[in-house]
């Protein structure tokens, strides 16, 4: 545990439970033990919604060209 209260979850546990940086978890105590539980269906929406779209853009424009389309140069 860090001084900020952050906990490192070992990679084998993260992989087994499917925990990603956007996954929400809960901690609960039972006696002297503390349990981490992955909340069902709580991956943040933007990550889940757009993950399948990563890398599929086919527009051959520069960033400056795209930005020019979004600006109102009246």
Cα(35)–Cα(59) distance, integer angstroms: 47
For 40-74, the pLDDT digits (tens) are: 765 555 556 667 777 777 778 888 888 888 887 65
Name the one residue in this structure whose structure tokens are 């389309």. Answer: 69
The pTM score is 0.46
Domain spans of the chain? 11-70
What is the reported pLDDT for 62?
A: 86
Which residues are registered as beta bridge partners of 28? 35
């Amino acid at each position: 545990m860090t001084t900020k209260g952050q906990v490192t979850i070992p990679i084998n546990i993260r992989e087994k439970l499917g925990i990603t940086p956007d996954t929400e978890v809960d901690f609960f105590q039972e006696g002297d033990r503390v349990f981490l539980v992955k909340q069902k269906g709580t991956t943040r929406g933007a990550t889940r919604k757009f993950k399948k779209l990563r890398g599929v853009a086919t527009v051959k424009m520069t960033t400056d060209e795209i930005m020019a389309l979004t600006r109102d140069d009246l």
